[in-house]
Amino acid sequence: MKVLKILDWPSKRYYGETHHFYRWRDTFLDHGLKVEIYYDHKDKRLHGSDYLLIHSRYFEDGWQNILTRTSQNEDEIMAYLFNMKNETGRLIWFDAADSTGSSDFPIIPLVDVFMKKQRLRDINYYTSENLNDLRIWLNPVPGVQRTTFAPCPKNQLHKIKLGWNLALNDYRYYGYKMSRLSNYLAYSIYPTHLTPYDKKRKYDLAFRGTIHKENGETSMISYQRNYVLGLFEKLNLIIATGKNVSKAKYWKELRDSKLSISPFGWGEICYRDFETFIAGSVLIKPLMSHLETYPDLYIENVTYVPVSWGLQDLEEKLEHMVEHYESCKQIAKNAQLQYFNAANNAHSFINSFKQNID
């Protein structure tokens, strides 16, 4: 029996990006892995494991946040990783950045595996010296400020492996409370509630949010969101939109909506994608063919309707889908089924995970 120790992100333990490690801990044992989870990088029990997985956002108040990164905390994390690599069979860095890009490549020589939530199909982009952007979809957009990253050394490229995305988070309404219980018990008494895709829906579209007018990076990552919100003034559709609302109202609107738009922001994959699947709405999203991810629930015109990165075709597609909504329901049905199967398939995830850490 091998031991997998995890240095977790404390603020979202149980229901966030490591939720499935808590939920499927017993199933990991069946696959020969004992999972232990810790919340203090100084805990001496972290030493001496077969595998040590570090959630990058554990260090979000220091080096991992590019806004708070300094030479001092860089030296500190380098020293820490150097020591832990000598104390661990395989040291795994889970890069929890939202986008396919990464600002964490300076540490890649010190780890054995560098896991991404979503990885570019063209992985050579990571090694390019051409000041590549963290958010590849913004490269062709004129007049936006770019956020570049240090390239991955070519001799380290083989370490970039596929991890897992937000699909495996806990999206139950009270999941953040229930996840603290034994997860087998929690899901048996309180499963994820899927809204029938073919229920009657009073809204054509649901999308909440406000236009960001700030300069710099905030306006850059809001480029697609702002475009969507600006487009609503031209559409003759019944839209649930406006400022942010309570969680209960947000879910009610989404469950009552035929369509749901999920633009790129800090990254390509968003909570809204999986909330849309759960709600039985049809997901509309910028084209995702540039990346690979697990579980891969993004199949063009099968589980989501793609639009261009510049969103120039969004208006036409929205109007067409509302007019032909009955024929679009199959997409919502496909997506909901594939999401449910993936989110409840412990063996598939564990097999994928084990394949990428060795």
Q: Supply 102's token pair.
A: 């990464």
Is the pLDDT at 122 greater than 70? The verdict is yes
Instruction: Check: CB of residue 100 under 8 Å from CB of residue 290.
Output: yes
Q: Domain of 280: which CATH number?
A: 3.40.50.2000
Is the pLDDT at 119 greater than 70? The verdict is yes
Per-residue model confidence (pLDDT) at position 4: 98
Its domain, for residue 274, covers 189-343
The pTM is what? 0.93
Question: Quick one: 142 and 219 in the same domain?
Answer: no
Alpha-carbon distance 226 to 353, whole Å? 37
Rounded average pLDDT over 89-114? 96
Instruction: With respect to residue 178, please indicate whether it lies within any of the assigned structural domains.
Output: no
Question: Quick one: 110 and 205 in the same domain?
Answer: no
The larger pLDDT score, comparing residue 68 to residue 335, is at 335
Question: Quick one: 330 and 350 in the same domain?
Answer: no
Instruction: With respect to residue 31, please indicate whether it lies within any of the assigned structural domains.
Output: yes
Per-residue model confidence (pLDDT) at position 214: 58
The larger pLDDT score, comparing residue 133 to residue 156, is at 156
Rounded average pLDDT over 261-271? 94
Instruction: Check: CB of residue 268 under 8 Å from CB of residue 287.
Output: no
Quick: pLDDT tens for 173-232: 887 777 666 666 688 888 899 999 999 999 999 999 876 665 555 556 788 988 999 999
Quick: pLDDT tens for 291-332: 999 999 999 999 999 999 999 999 999 999 999 999 999 999
- Alpha-carbon distance values, 243 to 92, 209, 212 (Å): 40, 5, 12
Question: Quick one: 158 and 241 in the same domain?
Answer: no
Question: Quick one: 155 and 6 in the same domain?
Answer: yes
Rounded average pLDDT over 273-300? 98
Q: Would you call 203 helix, strand, or coil by DSSP?
A: strand
Question: Quick one: 209 and 99 in the same domain?
Answer: no
Question: Quick one: 41 and 61 in the same domain?
Answer: yes
Quick: pLDDT tens for 140-159: 666 666 778 899 999 999 99
Alpha-carbon distance 325 to 11, whole Å? 40
Instruction: With respect to residue 326, please indicate whether it lies within any of the assigned structural domains.
Output: yes
267 exposed, middle or buried (CB, 10 Å; 0-12, 13-18, 19+)? buried
What lies within 8 Å, CB to CB, of 183 at 6+ separation is 22, 23, 24, 25
Per-residue model confidence (pLDDT) at position 142: 62
CA-CA-CA-CA torsion for 127, 129, 130, 133, nearest 10 degrees?
A: 50
Q: Domain of 128: which CATH number?
A: 3.40.50
Question: Quick one: 234 and 218 in the same domain?
Answer: yes
Instruction: With respect to residue 271, please indicate whether it lies within any of the assigned structural domains.
Output: yes
Question: Quick one: 16 and 164 in the same domain?
Answer: yes
Instruction: With respect to residue 35, please indicate whether it lies within any of the assigned structural domains.
Output: yes
Instruction: With respect to residue 177, please indicate whether it lies within any of the assigned structural domains.
Output: no
Rounded average pLDDT over 232-241? 93
Alpha-carbon distance 345 to 334, whole Å? 17
Instruction: With respect to residue 176, please indicate whether it lies within any of the assigned structural domains.
Output: no
Beta strands in the chain (DSSP E): 2-7, 33-38, 51-55, 90-95, 113-116, 118-120, 160-162, 203-206, 239-240, 257-261, 282-286, 291-293, 305-307
* Angle value at C-alpha 196, between 194 and 201, nearest 5 degrees: 120
Question: Quick one: 152 and 211 in the same domain?
Answer: no
**Residue 313 belongs to what H/E stretch?**
none
Domain count, the chain: 2
Average pLDDT, whole number, for the chain? Answer: 92
Quick: pLDDT tens for 11-41: 888 889 999 999 999 999 999 999 999 999 9
Is the pLDDT at 115 greater than 60? The verdict is yes
Question: Quick one: 17 and 164 in the same domain?
Answer: yes
Question: Quick one: 56 and 152 in the same domain?
Answer: yes
Rounded average pLDDT over 233-262? 95
Per-residue model confidence (pLDDT) at position 312: 94
Instruction: With respect to residue 219, please indicate whether it lies within any of the assigned structural domains.
Output: yes
